[in-house]
Structure 1
């Protein structure tokens, strides 16, 4: 038996692949103005070139981002506008860095972030990306270290665990130096795992087992067409349902390194066959996928776990109705709003309506002319009309209820106006936390009503035929009835589309009016709405005008956009990432 050294050195001279000890790594770290490559910019680049444990060189420079650095970023990194004012721009720095890293393996902690900014820089300069092999120390750490060893795989945590000589401090070169020590510590662990070369390292981090690769034959014979694929086990039980514009390429990805989800690796290990349903175009594939997941409930589809869960906001059928969050739509004559996406959304919507309309929030059974109990605190502060003490008649109370139903169906303005007035008052009195909470409730109310009105508008149309350009001179055709896809086809370039439309309409599925239905039906209608809103889609014919309420929630889109922008501007320091503590008392030392 051949012995191996205790470190990460490969001693087998017959090794065909380049051993890790002979591989040159360039460990890079960037500081930026934000997290979005392409819109945010690089402020600093730091890199260290290493081979066989030896440092060959370092690269470090500030970069003029061309945009202002926010106060939060300056606090986090210590880099200010004045520091980068005289620094070179990325157009001068990037070529120098690419030359420094040429012929090396690029290493970064959370590599998609750093590599994404470097690729965006190359794209902006119309410079080809060199195609470096990339190693992500964060992914490598997750594969090697256990929760018992480290609570997380942050760079600061790993640097402390491996006793790095440099403490990361959100400056590029310091973080790159710390990452070098982390990389060496991780490579030292790889020898005992049978990983001694760069190809073995990349295969190790790919998280694709040999069992997955051996099942590549399951993709044989699958066409390059849009459609739905179904993974099944030996007993024919559906495991996973997916969709793609190119079935063959998508299914093959489950057996190569591009598929890194552990859950999918487990699924492929159980799969013994793949069934496919070829569709006319991507829209039909999306709808069929949704219907199959709802029907089959495959174990490995996350959506299937909640496919039969619906949430509604109900106006109870009483003399003095109240709002109630329920999970079932019953034919009891009450007004229902939904289905909604979650119980949290339903609760936010209910709270927003309570803020706007003083209907009761208690669960008591109230009868006109009968005093039940004394009014609660909500009545004292004007948040309830106190029907329990007969302060409001049934007729006057029904006016309040009608305002709610009207907002759901047509005019949301009567609910929005008092809420926006109160929002202005809270802001004027600098009660910003309460204002932010109310703003979020208003946004939920507007989005929910807009969604419901859009769904209702499409559901009312008995038949609608639409066409979308397929990008190669033809048309993707779809027939919709009451918010459901009932027919689809393609009119290729050079073929008259109208005869195909007539044939499609004649053979389409018949659908009854569905004023209320399961969440799956609503999700299908939402898919159709998104498709109809894509550029280039044309309405061929419609049995009735496709319209939304003139004073509906759609009018509030501009306000929604401003509210969303206000979330980020309200407090630039309200970031979820924790600031590193640079100095703290030594443990065990008495203070004072």
Structure 2
């Protein structure tokens, strides 16, 4: 008869934590927008449940410390008047963290809510407790089929599970609806053998059935650097990415490490992966940007619309003005940019207007229009902010001095704008008008950032040709030819080979690039910034430079570090009340 060892009783740790004994805190937030870095919380609602029973609730409005956009008020019903008397997040956050202490955090689309809570903790210099998190949206995608629900929105799931509360974009009501959704999903997860908290968290991290089924799409992908394109059955490009090792990167999309919801959805549609091998990581990065701009894949979240960049333009007319435009033309005007958004360009324009009394009307002002008294007038003249050339009170030669100063600012000398902004900020700080001082600081930051970007890109765009090399990992060299800011060719030099023949061959076969106007004449700003980052990386050596590569001596780079340190205060929306701002 066989001999058996002594029986060993398993521990509770081996068995895991039964879900019936886990305390969940289901949380929902309402906010002023979708960015945890730029927006703020307006309402927190949370429900504590254990064993299927509600054991506590937490709900409060929160004063966000900023205006609530009208469209947000329409969606949530939360108006500015409702939060005037509400506590700030600094008062609410400790109470919520105490309410949720020791519990598993649950949210529908958890990265959104957790992202705002983490940002609030960081702003209050509080450590994030890092609880276990369950995302009901992600869990629903794993246990429900598309035949059962068309999508995994909270309202759809609440109807499917017959939740007792209908979601209405108010935090506590949505949290109560999510409780019923959570219980329905946990019941479904039980059919997959999920009975403990440990099994639930592992179940969330496991690859989806679609990911497992599509693993064959990574077969045959090379290991070289390059670009990969996920395509559907019709050949439409769904997603474009880059990697220094294509095979390992593409394979990762079909493993548990890929947790992005929109990417998992994309994998369910994809039918093939096409790859483009590149000579270097820089070429892969640039090709990725160009392919995203060309195809505008629906599952790429960035770089899809470089054409939406805006510029600040000093018009070429008898009485020039600052205008925001979407195109650089060869019209004799002076341009600054590109800016990422119209709002940023407007802030930069306001900073210039604070330094130079240019007219701010939008009409094209001619001498004939002034002489015939048909030009429209505005109130800025009465406020001393404009010399009123529209009324003939300012001669063209007097106005031209202001235009010349504005042109000098846009071409590289930022000192007048910085001096004017600092004087205004100091005066407002002396008067304890800190919020207004912060507005002036943010306007100056928008101008300095835009000017610094324009000056760096313009310097690169002026070079007819730049050839540079960087040591490669295998002992050879990466070679790149850049013409007027555009990557014209990429290649490599094998280890121990003489580089000159390779450089000459690459230059001879490089793309022909003609000069143009503006800071980005032949490539997008993002592509040129990729090239600049590579040129500034360790080990890069310049082989050939055709042109003068310089930035203005009084340009924005000279004050960039200073303004960034001023903006990067703990509360970026206020000036430090303990002392004067930006000193």
TM-score calculated relative to the size of structure 1: 0.67
Greater CA drift, 196-205 or 392-401: 196-205
Asked whether the 8 Å contact 1:241–1:293 carries over to 2, the reply is yes
Aligned to 1:173: none
CA–CA distance in structure 2, aligned partners of residues 539 and 222 of structure 1: 34
> Counterpart of 1:439 in 2: which secondary structure?
helix
What is residue 248 of structure 2 aligned with on the other side?
249
| 1:146 lines up with 2:154 in the alignment | yes
CA deviation after TM superposition for structure 1 residue 548, in Å: 0.7
**SS of the counterpart of 1:437?**
helix
Displacement, 1:155?
11
State whether residues 464 and 479 of structure 1, in contact with CA within 8 Å, keep that contact through their aligned partners in structure 2.
Answer: yes
The 3 A distance-change label for structure 1 pair 357 and 213 is: same
Which residue number corresponds to residue 535 of structure 1? 538
1:312 corresponding residue in structure 2: 311
More deviation in 18-27 or 268-277? 18-27
Residue 186 (structure 2) aligns with: 190
Q: Once the 2 structures are TM-superposed, how far is the Cα of residue 495 of structure 1 from its aligned partner?
A: 4.0
Please say if residues 229 and 242 of structure 1, whose CA atoms lie closer than 8 Å, have aligned partners that are also in contact.
yes
Matched residues in 2 for 1:439 and 1:448: separation?
Answer: 14
Are 2:559 and 1:551 aligned? no
8 Å Cα contact 2:105-2:131 kept in structure 1: no
Q: CA deviation at 1:25?
A: 8.8
What's the counterpart of residue 477 of structure 2?
475
Offset at residue 153 of structure 1 (A): 11
TM-score by length of 2: 0.68
CA 1:473/1:437 → structure 2, altered by over 3 Å: closer, same or farther? same
**Inter-partner Cα distance in structure 1 for 2:465 and 2:440:** 40
Judging changes above 3 Å, is the alpha-carbon distance between structure 1 residues 140 and 286 closer, same or farther for their aligned structure 2 residues?
Answer: closer
Deviation at 1:398, TM superposition (A): 1.8
- Segments of structure 1 that go 5 or more residues without pairing to the other structure are 1-17, 30-49, 54-70, 80-100, 118-131, 163-181, 575-592
Moved more, 193-202 or 507-516: 193-202
1:379 paired residue number: 381
Partner of 2:77: none
Trace 1:574-589 onto structure 2 (pairs within 5 A): none
Match of 2:94 in 1: 77
Query: 1:37 maps to which residue?
Result: none
Give the match for residue 274 of structure 1. Answer: 273
1:44 is matched with none
RMSD: 4.3
Higher mean Cα deviation, 328-337 or 504-513? 328-337
Is 1:321 matched with 2:320? yes
Question: SS where residue 524 of structure 2 aligns?
Answer: helix
Counterparts of 2:542 and 2:361, CA distance in 1? 48
Query: How many residues of Structure 1 are paired with residues of Structure 2 in the alignment?
Result: 465
Asked whether the equivalents of residues 408 and 452 of structure 1 are also in contact (C-alpha less than 8 Å), the reply is: no
Gaps of 5+ in 2: 1-13, 26-49, 53-87, 97-101, 119-129, 142-151, 159-164, 578-583
Give distance in 1, aligned partners of 2:318 and 2:262: 52
| CA deviation vs aligned residue, 1:445-481 (integer Å, no higher than 9, x gap) | 1111111111010111111122234455443222211
Deviation for aligned residue 1:109: 5.7
Q: 1:313 to 1:142 in 2, by over 3 A?
A: farther
Q: State the Cα distance separating 1:305 from its structure 2 match.
A: 4.6
Write the deviation string for residues 282-326 of structure 1: whole angstroms up to 9, x where unpaired.
Answer: 111010111112223333323465243342222233211222222
Q: 1:404 and 1:291, CA in 2 relative to 1: closer, same or farther beyond 3 A?
A: same
C-alpha separation in 1, matches of 2:210 and 2:136: 25
Secondary structure, in 3 states, of the residue corresponding to 2:240?
A: strand
Tell me whether 304-313 or 267-276 shows the greater mean CA deviation: 304-313
| Alignment match of 1:491 (pick from 471, 490, 493) | 493
- The answer for the alignment partner of 2:85 in structure 1 is none
Q: Distance in 2 between matches of 1:388 and 1:211?
A: 67
CA distance in 2: counterparts of 1:489 and 1:518, whole angstroms: 24
The answer on whether the counterparts of 2:336 and 2:450 sit within 8 Å (CA) in structure 1 is no
Partner of 2:7: none
Paired with 1:25 and 1:526, the residues of 2 have a C-alpha distance of 53
Q: How does 1:422-441 map to 2 (within 5 A)?
A: 422-441=424-443
Q: Structure 1 residue 26: deviation in Å?
A: 8.6
Which residue in 1 is equivalent to 2:511?
Answer: 509
Worse-matched range after superposition: 559-568 or 397-406 = 559-568
Residue in 1 that maps onto 2:461 = 459
1:314 touches 1:326 (CA, 8 Å); kept in 2? yes
In 2 relative to 1, CA 467–383 (structure 1 residues): closer, same or farther, beyond 3 Å? Answer: same
Tell me how far 1:75 sits from its aligned partner: 7.7
CA distance in 1, matches of 2:575, 2:416: 33
Matched with 1:401 is 403
Contact 2:136 2:181 (8 Å CA) reproduced: no
- SS of 2:452 mapped into structure 1: helix
CA spacing shift, 1:381–1:401, aligned 2, 3 Å: same
